[in-house]
Structure 1
Amino acid sequence: MLFQLFTFYNWTVLIYFFVLNGIYLFLTIRAFLEIQRYVHHLRSVNLKRIFELGFYKPLTVIAPAYNESATIVSSVHSLLNLQYPEFEILVINDGSTDQTLEVLKQEFRLVPSNRVYQVKLKTQPVHAVYGSLLFPQLHVVDKQNGGKADALNAGVNFSQYPLLCSIDADSVIETDGLLRATRPFLEDKLVIATGGTVRIANGCKVTNGRVTEVALSKNPWVRFQVVEYLRAFLFGRMGWNNLNAIMVISGAFGIFLKSAVLTVGGYRKDCIGEDMELVVRMHRHYRLNKIPYRVVFVPDPVCWTEAPEEHQVLCKQRKRWQKGLYDSLKANKPLFFNPRAGVVGLLAYPFFFFFELLGPVVEILGYGVFVFSLFMGWVNWPFALLFLSMAILLGVLLSASSLLLEELSFRRYPKTGDILILFLYGILENFGYRQLLAWWRLIALLEYVIGKRSWGEMNRKGFSTSG
């Protein structure tokens, strides 16, 4: 009986493996075609000319900040350097206990402001509002701590423009990032949200809030993450783009139609992954109410962010992401295999449930079953080695495809040696790193189930700066 269960499990895992990689192959092909089409189209578009002619929507940049004193100055300078015809910057100091507010006051000469705003979303109390004597478009809202979602909602309340750009306070946006990311709103009135590619800034040089020199970090943890980010954004996002089924817009950088955010009730404060949950809830509202809409991914590298350099911090980050995924899917269960939700309900939501949420359970359980079957003498070695080789080969091919597409389309890493190093890490990640991530994600699921929702803080070291 035990052997029959073992055989059944093996066949189940085999089917799971082929379905997963079949979807990956499908997304990879779509991503290749979509990015090549996008790059070709971009060459014929003069972004600056379009905006000079007045075809733009004013925009509010919302940057929540909690204990971000290490990176907040670089981030705000980056925002001030952005090329966009009409925008304002709202830094939301969410009850920081470090020197975040003091650093902002000193660097940007902040003074109290009597800015008027409407409370459309309930938030924690606001203590004070400041304006900059140096930069009239810069405002800082000092409020009681309520979490990132609460800070974002406060930013929505204070915003004066129809588009909202939510970013992490430790992020640096490309100078023309807003121009590129808002273009879909000009081309299609149905667009309610856009997201762009987020790159890792560790190892890069930041001068006056701009990434002036792109280089690969020497930290192995960071190098593994660079490969992950390339794969996730170039294929994970781009593959879903043409299907209008993007489930995630990174909290590091996203642009939303303000009216759409208010329609669905803003960011949920009881959700760990507020950025993903908002996007999934938008899909749910618009799909189930049969309202035409589009969520668009822009593959341009428009944002740079600091990645964890220590495994303890990386562990906290990935556990938070996994708990946020659980939160987002659980909060929007009506989408699950709902034909009224179209491709989101029938393909995207099930993919995230079975392969992203439950993936670590299947993987770690598989390792345990293999060890047990090894002890029982049930291992079919030719089959086991073939299966392992295929899994590694497909993973390497996906990573290599991401690097190739990056090199052909955007070429942000100027040194050929950096690309070769990343290719090597795309191989090495299959031998320890991937398993470690699966273990952390499994622990996160177990913690979530027993009610442990906290995840700790990510300590920032700041960017390598000059100027």
Structure 2
Amino acid sequence: MITLENIIRKFEIFTAFYSVIYILIYIILAILSYLAIKSYYNSKYYLHKDILIKSNHTLGVSIIAPAYNEAFTIVYNVKSLLLQDYPKFEVIIINDGSTDDTLQKLIDEFSLVKVDFFYQEKITTQPVKGHYKSINPVYAKLLIVDKENGKSKADASNAGINSAKYSLFICTDVDCILRKDTIAMLTKPFIENTTKVIATGAAIRISNSCEFKDGMLYKSHYPDTFFPRFQELEYLRSFLFGRMAWSKTNCLLLVSGGLGMFDKATVIEAGGYWHQSLGEDMELITRIRRLMHEKREPFLIKYIPESLCWTEVPSDSVIFLRQRVRWARGLIQTLYLHKKMFLNPKYGKTGLVILPHYFFFEFFVPILELLGIIVLTIDILFFSVNYDFLFIVSLFVYLFYTTITLISIYLDQLVHRQYSSIRELSTLIVMVFLEPILYHPINVYASLKGYIHFFTNKEKKWGAMTRQGFINAKD
């Protein structure tokens, strides 16, 4: 006879088994991440970046940055993007139908004029109204694309890809600050590997509370407000810990929309960014992996453990929740769209390893946590509970979670020595122990809300992020 108590006991057994598998996976990821970082720094100078910076025969790169109502910071940000220390590049800013004076500020500051431009719409976008170039030779590398609003970063990025003249492009956000050698560092994997590289990514850091001077990072600080502080931990864990491990096994499924370099021909063949996606960066990588598997062509997607980009993250609850709900919905949207790859041997590691991982250990985790709370509540109210065992298990999970994050901090400090004082590093470590209690439940709530929005087909909205701007360092 099936009873409620039997169901609860079977769920507890399943949860215990699931937790063991989850922990084993993260132990494996930790080992792979360490090996990948060690391998990277052992071979870092095999092809020194200075060779690329000083060579006139290196690969050309287009930096693509969509802008919508960015008048407050647009001039500063464009000047920062133009500071790249690389011989052959261009900066393409896409004015995606801004309703403020973003375009006019660009025209005035950079002496822009409308030019005749041979524009091929290889990827369909909203209509492009014109292209602008500067009459000042100092800004010869700058191209402005003015287009009608496409209601997504994807549509604007595709217009930039159509306008790009070089074979590689970097997709970034106009508010991002790039390290001066970003192009050189991201280009190296395309040159060093004999197998075709179709994308590269690198670590992104949080700019909130950091100081910048002349468009470059001047002094790094640990964020001083609630949400950015915990997001710093997330970024460390995901970029240094997770993505390095997946790169090591060529299973990387996510190159951040804030910083990623791509082979333009491959992206165009795959159809560019999907303008209806709420997680366009992950969806594009999934689709180009699918393309390469179907062509039966070997490929690599590489990730490097260098901090090459700084970006502002949400600092208040409304914008943070809006972002995380969109990310959660983008995850399930991508998994659903590419469901035919799931456990399909035709798609190699993508179908057999990485998509199942994202389904069972990314998408499913918030649902399991909610079910666990419900089952625990029923157990406490109606059945006997071994509180000693419950405490031991909870403590073990808590310590494992914090240990993973502490390892990420250790690796980051070993490689980058990012923080300017012991006090900031100490604060970061304290946040590690508060994150599971204060911050993680908010993320679970946002994920579940995103899933509900997807299954109820609630109208999708990207929403706007209110920016505080960068802190300028004082002389």
TM-score for both structures, normalised by structure 2: 0.95
Q: Which residue of 1 aligns with 2:112?
A: 110
Q: Which residue of 2 aligns with 1:313?
A: 319
Report the equivalent of 1:148: 153
Q: C-alpha distance in 2, partners of 1:432/1:59?
A: 42
Tell me if structure 2 keeps the 8 A contact 1:286–1:292. Answer: yes
Deviant stretches of 4+, over 6 Å: none
CA distance in 2 between partners of 1:107 and 1:374 (Å): 66
Quote the offset at 1:64 in angstroms.
0.7
Q: Does residue 186 of structure 1 match 2:191? A: yes
**Equivalent residue, structure 2, for 1:137:** 141
Would the aligned equivalents of 1:194 and 1:296 in 2 still touch at CA under 8 Å?
Answer: yes
Residue identity in the other structure for 2:472: T
1:454 aligns with 2:461: yes
| Mapping of residues 280-291 of structure 1, within 5 Å | 280-291=286-297
Residue identity in the other structure for 2:146: D
Aligned 1:33-182 pairs, distance under 5 A: 33-43=35-45, 45-54=47-56, 56-134=58-136, 135-146=139-150, 147-182=152-187
Query: How far off its partner does 1:378 sit?
Result: 3.0
| SS of structure 2 residue aligned to 1:175 | coil
The separation in 1 between residues aligned to 2:162 and 2:110, in whole angstroms, is 23
- Deviations 1:12-51, CA, capped at 9 Å, x for gaps: 1111211112111111110011102212222554211244
Paired residue total: 467
Give, in whole Å, the separation in 2 of the partners of 1:321 and 1:167: 17
Q: Secondary structure at the match of 2:315?
A: coil
Note the C-alpha offset of 1:67. 1.8
Which of 460, 464, 467 is the matching residue for 2:471?
464
- Listed as ranges, the matches of 1:47-446 within 5 Å are 47-54=49-56, 56-134=58-136, 135-146=139-150, 147-189=152-194, 190-446=196-452
Q: TM-score normalized by structure 1?
A: 0.97
1:337 aligned partner, one-letter code: L
Paired amino acid for 1:141:
V
Q: Distance in 1 between matches of 2:199 and 2:462?
A: 28
Q: Which residue identity does 2:29 align to in structure 1?
A: L
Deviations 1:412-445 (A, max 9, x none): 2232222221111111001121011101110110
Aligned CA distance change for structure 1 residues 258 and 413 (closer, same or farther; 3 Å): same
Equivalent AA in structure 2 for residue 139 of structure 1: L
Q: Point out the more displaced range, 449-458 or 391-400.
A: 449-458
CA distance in 2, matches of 1:288, 1:360: 32
Conserved in 2, the CA contact under 8 Å of 1:70 and 1:461?
no
Q: Secondary structure at the match of 2:306?
A: strand
**Alignment RMSD:** 1.5
Question: Which has the larger displacement, 26-35 or 281-290?
Answer: 281-290
Report which stretch shifted further, 144-153 or 282-291. Answer: 282-291
1:388 counterpart SS class = helix
Residue by residue over 1:250-272, the C-alpha shift from the partner in whole angstroms, topping out at 9 and shown as x without a partner, is 00010000110011111111211
**CA–CA distance in 1 between the matches of 2:106 and 2:379?**
60
Displacement, 1:274? 1.1
Alpha-carbon distance in 2 for matches of 1:229, 1:136: 35
Q: CA deviation at 1:283?
A: 1.1
Q: Given that residues 205 and 212 in structure 1 are in contact (C-alpha distance below 8 angstroms), is that contact kept between their aligned partners in structure 2?
A: yes
Q: Within 2, Cα distance between the matches of 1:176 and 1:81?
A: 9
Distance 2:395 2:404 in 1: 14
C-alpha separation in 2, matches of 1:137 and 1:194: 23
Deviations 1:202-244 (A, max 9, x none): 0111222211111112112111000100000001100101111
Partner of 2:43, secondary structure, is: helix
Tell me the distance in 2 between the aligned counterparts of 1:321 and 1:270. Answer: 13
Q: What residue ranges of structure 2 are gaps of 5+ in the alignment? A: none
Query: Alpha-carbon deviation of 1:286?
Result: 0.9
- Give the SS at the match of 1:358: helix
Given that 1:316 and 1:458 are in contact with CA atoms closer than 8 Å, whether structure 2 keeps it comes out as no
Overall identity of the aligned pairs, in % = 36
Judge conservation of contact 1:403–1:419 (CA < 8 Å) in 2: no
